[in-house]
Chain A
Amino acid sequence: MSSENALVRFVDIQKSYDGEALVVKNLNLDVAKGEFLTMLGPSGSGKTTCLMMLAGFEPATHGEIFLNEHPINRVPPHKRGIGMVFQNYALFPHMTVAENLAFPLEVRHMDKSEREQRVKRALDMVQLGKFGDPRPAQLSGGQAQRVAVARSLVFDPDLVLMDEPLGALDKNLREQMQYEIKHIHENLGLTVVYVTHDQSEALTMSNRIAVFDDGIIQQCDPPPVLYEEPNNAFVAGFIGENNRFVGKVTEDSGDTVKVEIEAGAVVVAKKVNVEGVGSRSTLSLRPERVTVDPEAGSLPNIFSGKAEELIYLGDHIRTRFTVLGHDDFIVKIPNSAAHARLKEGDTVNIGWNAEDCRALDPSD
């Protein structure tokens, strides 16, 4: 992405709270206009700190943040004009819903009729048209969440930040809100920077996901790329489920490498992020990319495995195998007539393509 249509640019950002440990280490990230970018990572990975620096609540220790090509390090939060949905919604408890929404408009000295019109429009947008009068304590969690979204949009900001806004909702409501926020984003052409630790939420909503760990963006890509082509062992492990083997590279043939897992067992894998012959590597393989009982010779990797545990999940059967000395190898077997019915304790051949098995950094 060229930096010309970037709405937000983080340039060499570092952040330390105590002057010693860096919470954010040299962050460089562009957010394009109209993009839905999610910062995803475990707690303590620096994602929320980045959002707080963008909102202006935390100063950057080093580096510069640009908004619309203007440096904003020295702009106080109330002059940034960025909308934000807080983790606990942060609705003003002593004001009604309508007063909460009118707050940013009053600050901007908008006249009363325009204020009322905008408040109504924002409430309609989150399907709360008739909910202007109650106070926040009288709302359900889902309604409060919608009010928080409406309040962050009511003054027409270009950029909206969301800090784990759906964390407090139950599963069904959370999924519904994910779609609603996604639709609002699309309809209004907003730019959204969204922070979450929930990977399915990130995959559902985002144009791009920046995976944070240890203060560093491990990978920043659209969801399909992130899931199917993880660049390193952390991303492979954090996004979705994966089976992993650790071994030593014995042969490097450009696109693929051969990795010896244990004496005699060599796996052919796609070369992604390994140094070469002799170095250690983590192999990552998605459970749905494993074929049970393949024809001999049809796949480069075929090994014998023993089914240890079967869990019936309706659309697929989650099966745990012991393969190559690992007893935590998971295979998702689709529940269809074409597939073999296994029993616990059965020994079958399982196999996979070199393409689907990614040779990554040793990780630990």
Chain B
Amino acid sequence: MALPIYATTGQRIWHYTYLAFCVFVLFFLVAPLVAVIPLSFTSSPFLNFTPEMLALDPDAFSVRWYKALFGICDAVDDSASTMCHNKWMTGAGRSLYYAVCSTLLATFLGTLAALGLSNQHMPAKRAIMALMISPLIVPLIITAAGMAFFFARVNLSNTDAGIILAYTILGMPFVVITVTSTLVGFDRSLMRAGANLGGTPTYNFFKIQMPLIAPGMISGALFAFITAFDEIVIILFIGGPDQHTLPRQMWSGIRQEISPTILSAATILVLFSVLLLTTLELLRRRSERIRGITPH
């Protein structure tokens, strides 16, 4: 955003103040994430930068915390032997399992809900929409407490099914919102054209509507996935010993045994998120290019 040639001195000063402000905001957003990455390669068992690390001494760096994370034990390494177990990997596996299942369910149900809510003949549209997105607005702790009581009644506490359902409820609002906003730009006459050309409503949905609202479905699914993958409050309320997810492992790790393993886990999660977002952005651009919309 360049300044116009006729900008006054006051406008110039304001413009550069504004730019500096933006840089600071971005810095404070990204800095904590970036700081974690070098720290995770420390060879000391403490969560701070040692003078050796700052002097870039090669001995100050190691991948021992990554080994601990992936359950590869060093025979000589006894200081971290308590960390040398597979809880991280099983936790990651659990988290992935819950996140994938609940994302699929949330995307399916959320898309259906969005389709129904954008039908012009749908009664009580606003009320239903508000109810649908309430898990986003109601404090998580309240939702979690409510679920804990309710799930205990219906024998869903401490079960995988219970966790998946709970995460579906948390993830669905994202799908409803993103798909609804994609449907605003969806030309309804395309469905009429499909019907006119002989396609049944179901056929037309899969052939015409779904490919066109897919970007909304995908970004909703992404939010639902991230929400489920790093969820900690609900799992503490309704999860049993068998539902030991990655966030739960980080939670207990940081309370019981502060070790840089948590940093290596964080680094891997950051990389994972960046990869996921990049892939999805590329997919989104591709689908827009296919539809003839110039990327922006």
Q: Which residues of A contact B (CB under 8 A)?
A: 55-57, 76-84, 86-88, 90-94, 103-104, 107-108, 135-138, 151, 155
Instruction: Indicate if the CB atoms of A136 and B292 lie closer than 8 Å.
Output: yes
Task: Return chain A residues, CB-CB under 8 Å to B203.
Answer: 107
- Kindly identify which residue among B189, B193, B199, B212 contacts A94, using a CB–CB cutoff of 8 Å: B212
In the complex, whether B85 has a CB less than 8 A from a CB of chain A is: no
Instruction: Indicate if the CB atoms of A78 and B196 lie closer than 8 Å.
Output: yes
In the complex, whether B12 has a CB less than 8 A from a CB of chain A is: no
In the complex, whether B211 has a CB less than 8 A from a CB of chain A is: yes
Can you name 25 A-B pairs with beta carbons within 8 Å?
Answer: A55-B196, A57-B195, A76-B195, A77-B195, A77-B196, A78-B194, A78-B195, A78-B196, A78-B197, A80-B196, A82-B196, A86-B192, A87-B189, A88-B187, A90-B193, A92-B190, A92-B194, A93-B190, A93-B212, A93-B291, A93-B292, A107-B198, A136-B292, A137-B293, A138-B292
Instruction: Indicate if the CB atoms of A103 and B197 lie closer than 8 Å.
Output: yes
Task: Return chain A residues, CB-CB under 8 Å to B291.
Answer: 93-94, 135, 137
- Kindly identify which residue among B198, B212, B290 contacts A81, using a CB–CB cutoff of 8 Å: B198
In the complex, whether B100 has a CB less than 8 A from a CB of chain A is: no
Task: Return chain A residues, CB-CB under 8 Å to B96.
Answer: none
- Tell whether A78 pairs with B198 under 8 Å between CB atoms, given A90-B187, A94-B211: yes
CB B195 to nearest CB in A, in angstroms, measures 4
Instruction: Indicate if the CB atoms of A103 and B207 lie closer than 8 Å.
Output: yes
- Tell whether A56 pairs with B189 under 8 Å between CB atoms, given A94-B211, A137-B293: no
- Kindly identify which residue among B195, B208, B293 contacts A92, using a CB–CB cutoff of 8 Å: B208
A54→B4 CA distance, assembly (Å): 57
A104→B198 CA distance, assembly (Å): 6
- Kindly identify which residue among B193, B207, B290 contacts A84, using a CB–CB cutoff of 8 Å: B193
Instruction: Indicate if the CB atoms of A78 and B199 lie closer than 8 Å.
Output: yes
Which residue of B has the minimal Cβ distance to A103? B197
- Apart from the given pairs A78-B201, A155-B197, 13 other A-B contacts in the complex at a CB distance below 8 Å: A55-B196, A57-B192, A77-B192, A83-B196, A86-B189, A90-B189, A90-B192, A94-B287, A103-B199, A108-B198, A135-B290, A137-B291, A151-B197
A135→B203 CA distance, assembly (Å): 21
Which residue of B has the minimal Cβ distance to A83? B196
**3 interchain residue pairs of minimum CB distance:** A137-B292, A90-B193, A104-B197
Instruction: Indicate if the CB atoms of B194 and A103 lie closer than 8 Å.
Output: yes
A84→B190 CA distance, assembly (Å): 12
Task: Return chain B residues, CB-CB under 8 Å to A56.
Answer: 195-196
Q: Give B206-250 interface residues, CB cut-off 8 Å to A.
A: 207-208, 211-212
- Number of B residues whose C-beta is below 8 Å from A? 23
In the complex, whether B273 has a CB less than 8 A from a CB of chain A is: no
Task: Return chain A residues, CB-CB under 8 Å to B287.
Answer: 94
Task: Return chain B residues, CB-CB under 8 Å to A79.
Answer: 198
A93→B292 CA distance, assembly (Å): 7
A82→B292 CA distance, assembly (Å): 29
- Kindly identify which residue among A80, A88, A104, A151 contacts B189, using a CB–CB cutoff of 8 Å: A88
Task: Return chain B residues, CB-CB under 8 Å to A103.
Answer: 194, 197, 199, 207
Which residue of B has the minimal Cβ distance to A148? B193
The interface bits of chain B over 270-296 (1 if a CB of A lies within 8 angstroms of the residue's CB, else 0) are: 000000000000000001001111000
In the complex, whether B200 has a CB less than 8 A from a CB of chain A is: yes
CB A52 to nearest CB in B, in angstroms, measures 9
A136→B189 CA distance, assembly (Å): 15
Task: Return chain A residues, CB-CB under 8 Å to B189.
Answer: 86-88, 90
Among B201, B287, B292, find the residue whose CB has the most chain A CB atoms closer than 10 A.
B292
Which residue of B has the minimal Cβ distance to A80? B196
Which residue of B has the minimal Cβ distance to A88? B189
Q: Give B142-200 interface residues, CB cut-off 8 Å to A.
A: 187, 189-190, 192-200
A137→B187 CA distance, assembly (Å): 14
Task: Return chain B residues, CB-CB under 8 Å to A57.
Answer: 192, 195
CB B4 to nearest CB in A, in angstroms, measures 33
Instruction: Indicate if the CB atoms of B190 and A90 lie closer than 8 Å.
Output: yes
Task: Return chain A residues, CB-CB under 8 Å to B192.
Answer: 55, 57, 77, 86, 90
A135→B212 CA distance, assembly (Å): 14
CB B209 to nearest CB in A, in angstroms, measures 10
A203→B39 CA distance, assembly (Å): 80
- Kindly identify which residue among A88, A93, A107, A151 contacts B199, using a CB–CB cutoff of 8 Å: A107
Q: Give B51-77 interface residues, CB cut-off 8 Å to A.
A: none
CB B199 to nearest CB in A, in angstroms, measures 5
A235→B126 CA distance, assembly (Å): 45
Task: Return chain A residues, CB-CB under 8 Å to B196.
Answer: 55-56, 77-78, 80, 82-84
CB A352 to nearest CB in B, in angstroms, measures 48
CB B114 to nearest CB in A, in angstroms, measures 19
CB B287 to nearest CB in A, in angstroms, measures 8
Task: Return chain A residues, CB-CB under 8 Å to B199.
Answer: 78, 103, 107
A76→B208 CA distance, assembly (Å): 18
Instruction: Indicate if the CB atoms of A94 and B194 lie closer than 8 Å.
Output: no
A136→B198 CA distance, assembly (Å): 20
Task: Return chain A residues, CB-CB under 8 Å to B292.
Answer: 93, 135-138
Which residue of B has the minimal Cβ distance to A78? B195
A81→B199 CA distance, assembly (Å): 10
Among A56, A79, A82, A90, find the residue whose CB has the most chain B CB atoms closer than 10 A.
A90
